[in-house]
Structures are given as C-alpha cells and as structure tokens.
C-alpha cells in the first residue's frame, strides 16, 4: 500500500456513499505452493451491510475470510479492516484489538466439548484484556443466549445438544463479545430447512438491531435470500459478479444464474 493510502486509511474509512466502509480489500492475491487461489480480489463491506459470498467448493471462500482476520496472510494486496491497514499489523496486541471487533463463526463452528454452554460462552469473555466482573459476565451470557433462543441450555454440555443447537451456541459465543463485524463461514450447513431459516433470521436480526456488518459465506440459497443486502460470487480468484439477489437471479450471464436454479 502506498504511504498516502496508508495515511488515508488510518484517518478514516472512505465514505463515498455516506456509509463508512468497514472492510476494504483491494487486489488480494493468495497462492499455496504455486496454486493460485485468490487472484486480485477486491471488495468493500459497508457498515450494517450483509454481504453474501457464493462460489463453488474450493474456490477460496474460507481462505478469503481467514485473510480478513489474519489467520492466513495474503501474498499481496491492500486490506483495511475498521480503518486499520491489517497488512501492516505486526504487534500481537494490535491483532487482538482487531479480533475483538471481528467475530468469526468457523465452518463447522465447534464448541469445546468438555465445557458446558455457560463455560463455552465465558471463555472468550475471560480472555479479554479488561475482563468483566462475574455479574457482568452472567448478564452478557444470559442476553446473548436469549438472542439465539437457548437460555434454557445454559447448563448443558455440547454432547446433549442437537446440531442446530450447537450452531446457535457457537453463534452466541461469537456474538457475546459484541463484534462490529461478523464473518460467517457456512452458518447453516448440515441443518434442516427450518433451523437454517432460524439461523438466517438471527443473522438478519444482528444487522437490523445492532448495526452489525457481516460477510456470510453460504451454499444455502434461502439463507442468501434472507440475509443478503448484496451478493458477490467468487469465481477464478475474484468476485466475478455482484448485485442484489434479484439482480443476480435475473443476470444475463448463465454461469451467474446457475447459482439460483
């Protein structure tokens, strides 16, 4: 990134539409052993926006969101998250500060099996540099469990939960830190249609109620329809098409329409 651009990003995210950009990715490249996965990918995520990412298996969707939280360093490109140039972050505490504001629901979203639901939710809270009091923690956990509709599961162990309940608890564990951005990697995979719909509505609720901005990777088109303000399709290492659900469904390009059939 040029020095001018770095200064600019540090000052404030750009706001050409009046809505701040919480993620700005420009010309991102990533290869593994010469196998090029991301090839000049660019996109922006605006405040309170839900961006759904579609793309065939193996296209690099999970790689992309791992780049956004520093789990995989891009080989090249410019990447700003909440106004910070994350390609230039090298201090662990700077990463921790970003990771506190960016929640990540992993593909698979595993819970710690040996911990109860309450302990699973306490875990991220206890790791904060400025930990909450016991009372605050109790309130935060009750609030987030209520959001995901599972307050009654607070004392259960993960083995006692259904797949859908586990997903909802994993989601609660991501949300308990009140992130400004949430990255969802296939939040509804393996769930029945009704549970998928509930999770999708919860994702929508996070945006509408708390102004959270999200990137949602999914193969589940009903989930995309419920959650997306905008959809981008990852193809050959870049976003090959972008638009609303209705725009892309009516696209003149057959490869784009094929996702909606």
Ligand X SMILES: Nc1ncnc2c1ncn2[C@@H]1O[C@H](COP(=O)(O)OP(=O)(O)OP(=O)(O)O)[C@@H](O)[C@H]1O
Q: Which segment (6-14, 59-67, 140-148, 247-255) binds ligand X by CB under 6 A?
A: 59-67
Enumerate the β-bridge partners of residue 41. 28
Residue with tokens 């050959």: 236
The span from the CA of 173 to the CA of 135, in Å, is: 18
Write down the least CB distance from residue 228 to ligand X, Å: 17
**Tokens encoding 84:** 């910070």
Give the burial class of 152: count Cβ atoms within 10 A of its Cβ; 0-12 exposed, 13-18 middle, 19 or more buried. Answer: exposed
Return the number of the residue (107 or 235) whose C-beta is nearest Mg ion. Answer: 107
60 binds ligand X (CB under 6 A): yes
Interface with Mg ion (CB under 5 A), residue from 48, 62, 84, 196: 62
SS3 135: helix
The span from the CA of 116 to the CA of 164, in Å, is: 16
Of 141-180, binders to ligand X (CB under 6 A) are none
Write down the least CB distance from residue 58 to ligand X, Å: 5
218 binds Mg ion (CB under 5 A): no
Write down the least CB distance from residue 33 to Mg ion, Å: 19
Interface with ligand X (CB under 6 A), residue from 45, 51, 59, 206: 59
The residue among 23, 186, 166, 206 whose CA lies nearest residue 106 is 186
SS3 190: coil
Q: What residue number has its CB nearest to Mg ion?
A: 62
Return the number of the residue (32 or 211) whose C-beta is nearest ligand X. Answer: 32
What is the DSSP pairing of strand 102-105 with strand 84-85? unpaired
Q: Which segment (6-14, 58-66, 92-100, 130-138) binds ligand X by CB under 6 A?
A: 58-66
Site string for ligand X, 88-107 (x = CB under 6 A): -------------------x
The span from the CA of 158 to the CA of 150, in Å, is: 13
Torsional sign, CA 60, 215, 176, 86:
positive
Interface with ligand X (CB under 6 A), residue from 61, 147, 167, 173: 61
Write down the least CB distance from residue 94 to Mg ion, Å: 27
55 binds ligand X (CB under 6 A): yes
The span from the CA of 261 to the CA of 256, in Å, is: 10
Of 84-113, binders to Mg ion (CB under 5 A) are 107
Residues that bind ligand X (CB under 6 A): 32, 37, 55, 57-63, 107
């Amino acid at each position: 990134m040029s020095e001018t651009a770095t200064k600019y990003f540090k000052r404030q995210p750009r706001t050409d539409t009046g809505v701040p950009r919480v993620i700005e990715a420009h010309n991102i490249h990533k290869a593994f052993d010469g196998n090029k996965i991301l090839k000049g990918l660019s996109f922006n995520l605006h405040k309170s926006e839900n961006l759904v990412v579609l793309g065939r298996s193996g296209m690099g969707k999970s790689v992309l969101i791992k780049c956004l939280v520093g789990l995989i360093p891009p080989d090249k490109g410019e990447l700003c998250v909440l106004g910070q140039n994350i390609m230039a972050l090298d201090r662990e505490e700077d990463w921790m500060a970003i990771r506190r504001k960016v929640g990540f629901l992993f593909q698979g979203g595993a819970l710690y099996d040996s911990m109860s639901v309450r302990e699973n939710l306490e875990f991220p809270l206890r790791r904060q540099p400025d930990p909450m009091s016991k009372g605050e923690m109790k309130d935060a956990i009750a609030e987030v469990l209520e959001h995901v509709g599972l307050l009654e599961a607070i004392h259960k162990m993960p083995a006692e939960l259904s797949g859908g309940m586990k997903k909802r608890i994993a989601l609660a564990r991501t949300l308990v830190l009140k992130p400004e951005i949430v990255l969802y990697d296939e939040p509804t995979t393996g769930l029945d249609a009704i549970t998928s719909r509930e999770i999708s509505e919860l994702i929508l609720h996070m945006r509408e109620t708390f102004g959270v901005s999200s990137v949602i990777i999914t193969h589940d088109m009903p989930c995309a329809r419920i959650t997306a303000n905008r959809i981008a399709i990852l193809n050959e290492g870049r976003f090959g098409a972008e638009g609303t659900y209705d725009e892309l469904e009516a696209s003149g390009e057959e490869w784009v329409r094929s996702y909606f059939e």
